[in-house]
Amino acid sequence: MSTDLLWQAFSYHARYFPSGGIFPIGLNPTKRVMYCNGGRKVWISVATILTAFSNFVLVPAYLLTFRAFPPPGDNYSVTLLHVAFGIIVHSFTIVIYIFIWLYHSDTVKGFNNIVGMEAVVKSEFFSSSKRLKDAKIHSDLPGQLISKFVLFTSGFQYVAALFVVLTNVDPLYFLLTNFFPGDTPLSLISYVIRIPVVILSSFEFVRIVTLLLMYFTIQLQVISSVVDQFHSIRGRMILPWGNVRLRALYVGLGIAIEFSSGVQGPTTAALMALSQMLAAICIIATIRMRGVIPMPLYLIFPTIAVFVPILVLMLLPRASNCYDKSVILLLSWRDVTSWDCARKGGMCESRARKKATGALRPYRVYASMAGVKLYMMKRSTKATFLHSCMDATVTGFFTFQ
């Protein structure tokens, strides 16, 4: 099991997206933990959300209802596409903010409990330095992609915000030109207002996306590795000299999943929805903005359209495989701890196995609870509903004229 590249992305996020004073969930890269400061400076975060919501939702709604929007001189489809993307993205960001505020305690506890198991798993299953070294060498590709993605977006968000302001496609520009048409001094002053608002809005969106991606991937990496290891050593759990530490770790896995189950399912749904929106909009932008945007910046759209589906295709099947393996583990656990298995040895060994199996009964209860949670997360009604809504939205974008 190797999470070094994921922890590198964790460190990048804490460095380039500081959130200790304005966001309920903070990151400590030194201790590799999340911490909760929901009671501190929440009003700053509320002001940030309201600013982004007003800029990308209320202003376009007002212009579409009461004004001629977009103006005749603008590229109609490109402008509406950008504004629609801003409305969906920032509305979705607000939903995620509210969800984290409501479940900030479970979010932090679930993440820290699962991450805390990493050291125990490494010391227990990778006892020799050679096996640990081999595990680090065979690091998976998603870790590299996520690490580079966080590093790339930390700088790209400012370039993208500056490009949006200079090309005059942000909603605040259309609002000012509707009220003060042809006022050159005011248009120059408006840059001072528009640049911070657009940068702040893009900053909030990128920070939420990268936080969701890391929260999903780090937990998935640790849980899937632990489930694989337990599946390979399930016979050792009921030996007369059974490892007490392994049994405690097994219970810890169930409790950690219990903490994070309220967050992991919606996180999966959110990543699915965001990936579909980004891929669909970037495909449309690749087709319709050729010749409108200069060539170096134009290549951003086909790059995102290719990169996002690849990342999702690597992560989501891995999550589904993790859930399925947990169910297989629980089914095989029933056979391993059965009384018939205990009777295969002699009388003394049978009694010792019965004693070990009896001691494991509470752990089987915890394991069954964890398995049910994972099964429900995989087939979550919320995830299915949200995925259907986003699928309908993407279909509407493709039929957009």
Top mean pLDDT of 290-294, 339-343, 365-369 is at 290-294
Q: What is the DSSP string of 73-123?
A: TS-HHHHHHHHHHHHHHHHHHHHHHHHHHHTHHHHHHHHHHHHHHHHHHHH
- pTM of the complete model beyond 0.85: no
Top mean pLDDT of 14-23, 34-43, 77-86, 107-116 is at 107-116
- Greater model confidence, 48 or 319: 48
Alpha-carbon gap, residue 383 to 110, rounded angstroms: 19
Q: What is the pLDDT of residues 353-377, one digit of tens each?
A: 556 555 555 555 545 545 555 544 5
Residue 146: predicted pLDDT:
82
- Owning domain of residue 93: 4-398
> Where are the extended beta strands (E) located within 200-299?
none
Q: Residue 154: is its pLDDT beyond 80?
A: yes
Residue 176: predicted pLDDT:
80
Q: What is the pLDDT of residues 118-147, one digit of tens each?
A: 777 777 666 544 454 454 545 567 778 788
Q: Phi, psi at residue 36, to the nearest 5°?
A: -110, 130
Residue 42: predicted pLDDT:
62
Q: Supply 270's token pair.
A: 């959110």
Residue 399: predicted pLDDT:
47
Q: Phi, psi at residue 252, to the nearest 5°?
A: -60, -35
Q: Residue 199: is its pLDDT beyond 80?
A: yes
Lowest pLDDT segment from 25-29, 69-73, 302-306: 69-73
* Unique residue bearing structure tokens 């493709």: 398
- Greater model confidence, 76 or 139: 76
Q: Give how many domains the chain has, as a whole number.
A: 1
Q: What is the pLDDT of residues 88-116, one digit of tens each?
A: 777 777 777 777 777 777 778 778 877 87
Q: What is the pLDDT of residues 238-272, one digit of tens each?
A: 555 555 666 666 666 666 666 555 566 666 666 67
End-to-end C-alpha distance for the chain, whole angstroms: 48
DSSP letter assigned to residue 55:
I
Question: Within 13 Å, how many C-alpha atoms sit on residue 22's CB side?
Answer: 14
Residue 391: predicted pLDDT:
54
- Greater model confidence, 65 or 321: 65
Top mean pLDDT of 71-85, 188-202, 217-231 is at 188-202
CA 254 vs CA 112, 155, 352: distances in Å? 14, 39, 26
Residue 264: predicted pLDDT:
62
Decide if 29 contacts 15 (C-beta within 8 A).
yes
Residue 336: predicted pLDDT:
53
Mean pLDDT to the nearest integer, 190-214? 81
Mean pLDDT to the nearest integer, 224-232? 74
